[in-house]
Amino acid sequence: MDYLYYPQPVSDLIAAFSRLPGVGPKTAGRLAFYLLRHPDQAGELTQAVTKALQDIKQCTVCGNYTDIDPCKICSGERRDRTLLCVVEQPRDVIALEKTGEYKGLYHVLHGVLSPMEGIGPEQLNLSPLFHRLEGVQEVVLAVNPTVEGEATSLYISKLLKPIEIKVTKIAHGLPVGGDLEYADEVTIARALEGRRQL
Amino acid sequence: MDYLYYPQPVSDLIAAFSRLPGVGPKTAGRLAFYLLRHPDQAGELTQAVTKALQDIKQCTVCGNYTDIDPCKICSGERRDRTLLCVVEQPRDVIALEKTGEYKGLYHVLHGVLSPMEGIGPEQLNLSPLFHRLEGVQEVVLAVNPTVEGEATSLYISKLLKPIEIKVTKIAHGLPVGGDLEYADEVTIARALEGRRQL
């Protein structure tokens, strides 16, 4: 209804932007008209999208997005190959890399178990994980602490149990700079649960 | 620096999104990874951008974006051809059309006078305005009430003076549902200035 007065190609463009996550109709309109005013940038954008979709594949080893296979991390010579960190999404790899603290390898699941959405173990990049455990001494589960994430962690840890590899999970608790008063109950409960002796 | 760990095509895509107005690096990252996960939608988006840039031109009469020339409004049979409304951007046309109150024609300037940015009368769709005044009885200036907008309104009204066409400006004042307490001084001053007897 909102697009009643736009020429068809403009309303199609607004609709295409609207379907992106976090982009409402107002933002979509702003972006569409911006590109119409700046054809150079529109060209750059379509080229960047096309090129990324063409060149970026999933690494056949870890499942991370990469333009070379295996990816730079999997083929990195300075990587600690005894450590394997399991994450949900390629962006989680970046988040961990930015800390500069982790030097091991990664395994990207591309999702979590979610029976509601019909996502079972077969829909995830899960079985390749079990074919790359040679030499690995510790699997670090860094899946997000959502209900589905926790279930996924549990599922993986159970599968890994017979293989006798150390399985750890990243700590959940109060974020640094966080405030007890404003933290939710579950986070505080997790922080208590994970308390350590000083 | 933020994109240090992304493969080049991904960081190029994030950079292309970041250059859009109102899109920060976080949002750009989110959009880029969303498109990598949803290649169908990425294809739709690039197609929509390409098609819009290919098909959408400025109407040779009013300057509005259109896929047919002259545009639907300029060639509309039910339009009041004695009324001509001057606006800054194509999106302002839509805003006015949505009210359903205005039945006249439009003229889109594609900007306002801005000496700071080197935008003079020649950079705007201004001179065609003076070649389409035959039969027009009233020019309504609906340029945004910014400093540049006001200067542009003044400039146009001065040029129109010798032609003896009625020139009006849309009212500025408190928005409907607005609150005196939270309105800025200039808006309140304008509202006072434009007061009417009941």
Residue A134 DSSP code: T
Task: Decide if the complex's ipTM is over 0.85.
Answer: no
Structure tokens at A49: 């999208």
Structure tokens at A50: 């096309």
Any residues with CB less than 8 A from the CB of A139 and at least 6 apart, and which? A84, A85, A86, A133, A156, A160, A165, A166, A167, A168
Structure tokens at B84: 């001509």
Nearest-CA neighbor of B125 among B139, B140, B111? B111
Task: Return per-residue pLDDT of chain A as tens, 198 residues.
Answer: 344 578 999 999 999 999 999 999 999 999 999 999 999 999 999 999 999 999 999 999 999 999 999 999 999 999 999 999 999 999 899 888 888 888 999 999 999 999 899 999 999 999 999 999 999 999 999 998 889 999 999 999 999 989 889 999 888 888 887 787 888 888 888 888 887 777
Residues B136-159 have pLDDT tens digits of 999 999 998 889 999 999 999 999
A142 burial level (CB within 10 Å; 0-12, 13-18, 19+): buried
Per-residue model confidence (pLDDT) at position B51: 96
Q: How many CB atoms neighbour CB A80 within 10 A?
A: 13
Residues B71-91 have pLDDT tens digits of 999 999 999 999 999 999 998
Q: With pLDDT > 70 as the criterion, what percentage of chain B qualifies? A: 97
Q: Confirm or reject contact between B79 and chain A (CB < 8 A).
A: no
Q: Confirm or reject contact between B102 and chain A (CB < 8 A).
A: no
Task: Return per-residue pLDDT of chain B as tens, 198 residues.
Answer: 344 578 999 999 999 999 999 999 999 999 999 999 999 999 999 999 999 999 999 999 999 999 999 999 999 999 999 999 999 999 899 888 888 888 999 999 999 999 899 999 999 999 999 999 999 999 999 998 889 999 999 999 999 989 889 999 888 888 887 787 888 888 888 888 887 777
Delimiting residues of CATH 3.40.1360.10 domain(s) in chain A: 78-171
Torsion of CA B68, B72, B77, B83, to 10 degrees: -120
Per-residue model confidence (pLDDT) at position B22: 92
Q: Confirm or reject contact between A89 and chain B (CB < 8 A).
A: yes
Any residues with CB less than 8 A from the CB of B140 and at least 6 apart, and which? B83, B84, B85, B86, B104, B168, B169, B170
Q: Confirm or reject contact between B49 and chain A (CB < 8 A).
A: yes
- Give A66-93 as a DSSP string: ESSSS-TTTT-TTSEEEEEEEESSHHHH
| Distance in Å, alpha carbon of A38 to nearest chain B alpha carbon | 10
Per-residue model confidence (pLDDT) at position A4: 55
Nearest to A67 among B7, B71, B91 (CB): B7
Nearest-CA neighbor of B96 among B62, B132, B134? B62
Nearest-CA neighbor of B107 among B77, B159, B148, B70? B70
Contact between residue B36 and residue B7 where contact means Cβ atoms under 8 Å apart: no
Q: In sequence order, what are the beta bridge partners of B108?
A: B87
Q: Confirm or reject contact between A97 and chain B (CB < 8 A).
A: yes
Three-class SS state of A58: strand
Nearest-CA neighbor of A84 among A112, A111, A63? A63
Three-class SS state of A64: coil
| Residues on chain A touching B119 (C-beta within 8 angstroms) | none
- Return the CATH number of the domain spanning residue range A2-55: 1.10.8.420
Q: Which of A3, A8, A20, A34 is the best mutation test for B, with the most CBs of B within 10 A?
A: A20
Rounded distance, CA A158 to CA B74, Å? Answer: 70
- Return the CATH number of the domain spanning residue range B78-171: 3.40.1360.10
Any residues with CB less than 8 A from the CB of B95 and at least 6 apart, and which? none
Place of tokens 């529109």: A42
Three-class SS state of A65: strand
Delimiting residues of CATH 1.10.8.420 domain(s) in chain A: 2-55
| Distance in Å, alpha carbon of A45 to nearest chain B alpha carbon | 5
